Chains A and B, each alone.
Chain A
Amino acid sequence: MGVAASGRMLAKTFTRGGYYVFGMIDYPSLIRGGHNFYHATVSDERIWSLHYNVDLIIALNKDTLDRHLSKLKKKGSIIVDSDIKYDKSALERQGARVFEIPLTGIVKELGALTVVRNSVALGASMALIDFDLEVLLSVIRKELGKRKEIAEINVEAAKRGYSFVVEQYGKGVQCTIRPRSDNGHLVITGNEAVALGGLRAGMKTYFAYPMTPASPVLHFLANVQFDFDVVVVQPENEIAVINMAIGAWYAGSRSMVATSGGGFALMTEAIGQAAMTEIPVVVVLAQRSGPSTGMPTYTAQGDLRFALHASQGEFPRFVIAPGDAEEAFYLTVRAFNLAEKFQVPVIILTDKHLAESHLTVPAFDLKKAKVERGKIIVGKYEGSEEYRRYKITDDGISPMAFPGTLNAIVKVNSSEHNEYGFATADAKNAEIMAKKRLRKLELMQEEVENCEESVKVYGDERSPIAIIGWGSTKGAILEALKILEAKGVNVKFVQVVFLSPFPTRRLQTILKDVRELLLVENNVTGQLGSLLREHLLRAPDEYLLKFNGRPFYPHEVVSKVLEVVK
């Protein structure tokens, strides 16, 4: 088991033990080598983000000690492989408790591969916190179940790590964390949540070209394609990807694609096509650090403006940014419904931190995730007049028949077209059609303004100090709110979930009495800030921007707020 798999098992172990976990995998764009680490925070209440400081470091090499010692709390523990050379007294001078464990030695005894060291260390960790080893073992058996021998060797490794600590140091030297009842919670990434949302929404076709950090959506769906009768195709490039999805939804199959910035760039022309032909499509844009290839495995929120403006011409679109994996699930289902209701492209903005980090969430409430079909015609068209795909209606939305429908010939056109779908450059027609699409935009605006979920407010709603943000920064901000509240500082957090159409009226109301507005974004220029100026004629008063590929930690938000409050 590598670091990523071990991290997932750790998250699942605590979740099954009734705790809440946020776990992040940090890795360079390499297959082997480099410095990979998994950073998790475990809590007995719901948790939304990592905290910077840790109680325990597992170091398989000296590099880990050098890089992460600053994260260790006073009297925190370090598990060190006794095979590595390091300066123990230096660690102890910093107040660390060092537990040398023969990780490599045990693996050699077992005749296992070096990666099995991770399992020894997980077992040892369970002893340090006096957690029920059986929970970990059951997770290992389940995760590696398909490969029985490998599962058993990892189980044995974990047991030996556990026993070693118990014999040498005793149980619970670090602390005691007793498992609580398993409440059936899930450990899910944003990617998995989006995939699951698509399945729940009745997606029958999924197309994707591999691109970090969106590829796990493809992997997840490819794994379950037969269980859900979903066709999963990896075509030649992202241009093929999005056009296949548009073709499939034109013919009646709900479709989704997921990619990152570079792939999205290739898709932009077809996003305009979806708008012009009025064919629904759901596009997931999992942002990573840019521009260009950037840092492929690191997080950023640099593509907001790109998503808002992608493709030539003017047309309505939804851009939705979930703040955590749980929201990602519900909003994905919503995205499919909105795409079909308004016959527009819907872009779901995630980022590496949301897409690939693990979060403990309650099992989903499927009553809140229902399929709502748009104005569709299936089977037979019953109208008295000839079917017109772009029939002019009051709301701008034309009943959508899929090809194969009896009595309906469905003509769609990426060129400007008349009601029947025939291409025309007639001036009057162009105006009528542009207005038809504009009416949809007005209706979409109302949808957003009347939707509680389009902007969410947390913390002290009456506070004159507000933090504003979007997407995955939600986690660190919510955790910061907890810390600030404990310090007696009451602020509110305004999470903008719908970025297009922009929830202008809702935000005007919410921000009316705000004196200090602090913008928090994972980008260089503060793109949400520019949207606030554009739509609300209001600039943020303070900026907290981070653009080094790393997510915010709660303490960074706390420091900034304390500075603002002063």
Chain B
Amino acid sequence: MTITLAQLNTKATITWCPGCGNFSILTAFKRALVELQIPREKVVVITGIGCHGKFGDYVNVNSFHTIHGRVLPIATGIKLANKELIVVGFSGDGDAYAIGLSHIPHAARRNIDVKYVVHNNMIFGLTTGQVTPTTPKGVKTRSTPYGNPEEPLNPLALALVSGATFVARGFAGDVAHLTWLFKEAIKHKGFAFIDVLQPCYTFYNTYEYFRRRVYKLEDVGHDITDFEEALKKAYEWNDKIPIGIFYKVRKPTFEETLPQLKGEPLALRDISDVNIEKAYVFLR
């Protein structure tokens, strides 16, 4: 059966602001699923709290709208229970880099085969415009009316040094490129991290800022197997801002290192009459 874009639509009414970068991310993700022809039942989308959190309501695949910051642990549990599912987490910059930050380095070094997309608009949108860990220094927000006194976090560098095996940046202003990134991330075996520059039309509109600065790493012959080069590119944030795949390497996934996961997914195993007597040896 062919998977079509129409099948991926849901009955839910979209409540994002007109012009929101989330629309591009949603479109790119749906296109990626159609182009890869992945059955809907095989995909699980996990979202956190924030404007991005509605994402699951708008795409007709399995979805888990979790509490603030916990996309990665939920995704990890799902993948362990059923390794055959395509598990894709979506977070905002608040969800991922503020409250949920403790999970990123660990998911990365574990190399669980989960895809993680961060809608990075550098602002808290749903709570009406407060500072986040990626808001540039000096920016005035409702919680930093005198300008943000803190240096922003570098998400790509963080992912790289944590051992992520696929690290990329997308731009919500370029849907075709983002679609390609999603496809590459889904095809990658291992933890795939994509930070998406996503302008917030209402509270922090960065469309023009980024449009003038972004360039594609594919266009400049960037070697995605070169870790140090990737790290250098992660620190490039001035007149030129790179998007595309920074780094990609094939390493054993967490699931591949666990012999218990060989064979059928855990969720489908027969659990009706587990013989525990073999553990009595420890109790005698």
Contact = CB atoms under 8 A, between A and B. Distances in A.
Interface of A: 12, 15-16, 142, 184, 186-188, 192, 196, 199-202, 204-205, 207, 220, 223-231, 233, 235-237, 239-241, 243-255, 269-270, 273, 277, 363-364, 366, 370-371, 378, 402-415, 417, 420-423
Contact of B73 (A220, A244, A420): A244
A142 B63 CA distance: 50
Contact of A371 (B12, B46, B61, B271): B271
B81 A248 contact: yes
Contacts of B103: 236, 240
B44 A403 contact: yes
Across chains A and B, which 7 residue pairs bring their CB atoms closest together, nearest first?
A: A202-B271, A247-B77, A252-B267, A253-B81, A243-B73, A251-B81, A248-B77
Nearest to B46: A247
B272 interface: yes
Given A186-B284, A228-B274, A404-B84, A252 B77 contact: no
B232 interface: no
Contacts, number: 209
7 contacts: A226-B259, A251-B78, A252-B81, A403-B78, A403-B82, A404-B42, A412-B64
Nearest to B255: A231
Contact of A204 (B44, B271, B276): B271
A306 to B, nearest CB: 19
Contacts of A225: 260
B56 interface: yes
A236 B110 CA distance: 11
Nearest to B104: A236
B189 interface: no
Given A227-B279, A248-B77, A371 B269 contact: no
Given A252-B266, A270-B70, A422-B12, A409 B276 contact: no
A188 B283 CA distance: 6
Given A243-B77, A270-B70, A409-B62, A227 B278 contact: yes
Given A16-B284, A252-B81, A422-B10, A244 B74 contact: yes
B102 interface: yes
A366 B260 contact: no
Interface in B13-50: 40-42, 44, 46
B6 interface: no
Contact of A236 (B74, B106, B267, B273): B106
B73 A423 contact: no
B107 to A, nearest CB: 9
Contacts of B72: 240
Interface in B46-84: 46, 53-54, 56-57, 60-67, 69-70, 72-82, 84
Find the residue from B57, B61, B279 having the highest chain A CB count within 10 A. Answer: B279
B282 A409 contact: no
Interface in B235-284: 258-261, 265-269, 271-274, 276-280, 282-284
A421 B278 contact: no
- Centre residue among A220, A414, A420 by max chain B CB count within 10 A: A414
B231 interface: no
Given A409-B41, A422-B11, A250 B64 contact: yes
Contacts of B268: 252, 378
Interface string B117-133: 00000000000000000
B188 to A, nearest CB: 21
B40 to A, nearest CB: 6
A67 B65 CA distance: 56
B280 A363 contact: yes
B284 A244 contact: no
A414 B266 contact: no
Nearest to B56: A411
B276 A414 contact: no
A423 B57 contact: yes
B164 to A, nearest CB: 15
Contacts of A241: 73
B139 interface: no
B170 to A, nearest CB: 25
B85 interface: yes
A224 B279 contact: yes
A404 B41 contact: yes
Of A184, A248, A413, the most chain B CB neighbours within 10 A belong to A248
Contact of B80 (A224, A244, A270): A244
B74 A253 contact: no
Contacts of B78: 247-248, 250-251, 403
Contact of A405 (B12, B41, B46, B274): B41
Given A404-B265, A422-B10, A205 B64 contact: no
Contacts of A403: 41, 44, 62, 78, 82, 85
Contacts of B283: 186-188, 192
Most buried by A among B63, B102, B103, B284: B284
Contacts of B273: 366, 370-371
Contact of B266 (A223, A253, A406): A253
A243 B70 contact: yes
Contacts of A378: 268
B41 A199 contact: no
Given A186-B283, A371-B273, A411-B63, A253 B102 contact: no
B77 A246 contact: yes
A253 B41 contact: no
Contacts of B53: 415
Given A364-B276, A423-B57, A205 B62 contact: no
Contact of B77 (A224, A255, A405, A412): A255
Contacts of A411: 56-57, 62-65
Could you say which of A235, A241, A406, A417 has the most chain B C-beta atoms within 10 Å of its C-beta? A235
A184 B283 CA distance: 10
B54 A240 contact: no
B1 to A, nearest CB: 11
